[in-house]
Amino acid sequence: MTSKLQNLRTFLAAHGPVALVEVAGTKGSTPREKGAWMLVSPSAIHGTIGGGQLEYMAIDKARQMLGTSPRSSGKGARATIDVHEVCATLDVPLGPEIGQCCGGRVEVLIQLADEKILAKLVAVAESEEGKSPHIYIFGGGHVGKALAEALSLLPVRAVVIETREDELEGIAEAVETRLTPLPEEVVREAPAGSAFAVLTHDHALDFLIVAEALKRGDTAYVGMIGSQTKKATFKSWFLKTAGGTEQEFSRLVSPIGGDAVKDKRPQVIAALAAAEMMTALVLHAAAKPAARSHREESRAAN
């Protein structure tokens, strides 16, 4: 498994002097938010501040400061540079002058990155990785592999769980894998707010894993691959045999990715499911502060 933190460390180890390019301020519509950043070396970049001419101008300015680019900072940008050429600010209008039509304005801070700056970046990356939402994919078949590939590009910690060792081959490098004869135990051990996508080779195993996930009550998303018939069969078993409730069952998403798009190719299902899960994770995270605030108000009233 290669995490985004490891990718940052690999970049820093492979490249010499680098400049930190950071969005310091925004007005109106912009490609990225304040705080977005990238690293620029003489021959490579890591991360992005939104692409387009804005990013090209920032890369050029960074490489000028690194001593590797003779070009100007670009038409339409006003640069303020200190006497030591270790820090620069670009004030860029995102209009026709630079071929971007966002309509906003971005202030970009560029500074040569010393050990202190780089250590802070690594520390922030470590903290963010520890807080990344977990998505557990049960099943490493065609859809499982495609979903793992899609999630490997997103700011989540994705884990593929399998009972068959050979199905863990070919999983995206940035995705963790676990081989276990008891996948339902992974559900019990997962942190609150996790998402679960259940798509194993065995319907009975799917049912067992989904039942465990639905009974937790603190999940962001529980999805199961399959047809409406499979969902109905699960519901009957869940309510009559597994001791589940209608309220718990109502939280099940099945089929994953919805049924508006009829294309059943694994990559299409994976793309739809990844978007569905990311939406659920964002909404779940946004709801948590509101829930805490409500509890605090209740305590104050008592």
* pLDDT, tens digit (0-9, with 9 covering 90-100), for 53-109: 889 999 999 999 998 654 444 454 444 434 346 889 998 888 776 766 667 889 999
- Whether residues 152 and 278 fall in one domain: yes
Query: What is the predicted pLDDT for the residue at 6?
Result: 83
Question: Which single residue is written with the structure tokens 């709801």?
Answer: 287
Question: Which single residue is written with the structure tokens 């999630």?
Answer: 151
- Whether residues 268 and 249 fall in one domain: yes
CATH of the domain at 144: 3.40.50.720
Residue 298 lies in a domain: no
Residue 296 lies in a domain: no
Query: What is the predicted pLDDT for the residue at 101?
Result: 67
pTM (whole model) above 0.85? no
- Whether residues 171 and 116 fall in one domain: no
With vertex at residue 287, the alpha carbon angle to CA 282 and CA 293, rounded to the nearest 5 degrees, is 145
User: How many domains, in total, are found in the chain?
Assistant: 2
Query: What is the predicted pLDDT for the residue at 289?
Result: 60
Cα separation, 161 vs 171, in Å, equals: 11
- Whether residues 88 and 228 fall in one domain: no
Cα separation, 214 vs 237, in Å, equals: 13
Residue 295 lies in a domain: no
Cα separation, 22 vs 87, in Å, equals: 11
User: Residue 193 is part of which domain span?
Assistant: 133-290
- Whether residues 9 and 141 fall in one domain: no
Quick one: tokens of 206?
Answer: 């799917």
- Counting as low any pLDDT under 50, the low residues of the chain are 1, 70-74, 76-84, 291-300, 302
Question: Which single residue is written with the structure tokens 């950071």?
Answer: 22
Cα separation, 258 vs 251, in Å, equals: 14
Which residues have C-beta within 8 Å of that of residue 115, sequence separation ≥ 6?
none
Residue 297 lies in a domain: no
- Whether residues 103 and 167 fall in one domain: no
Query: What is the predicted pLDDT for the residue at 30?
Result: 87
Quick one: tokens of 282?
Answer: 């964002």
Query: What is the predicted pLDDT for the residue at 82?
Result: 40
Q: What's the pLDDT tens digit per position in 120-131?
A: 999 988 887 778
- Whether residues 69 and 146 fall in one domain: no
Query: What is the predicted pLDDT for the residue at 99?
Result: 66
Q: Are 199 and 138 in contact (CB under 8 A)?
A: yes
Query: What is the predicted pLDDT for the residue at 104?
Result: 84
Q: 71, 103, 126: which is the final residue of a domain?
A: 126
- Whether residues 238 and 186 fall in one domain: yes
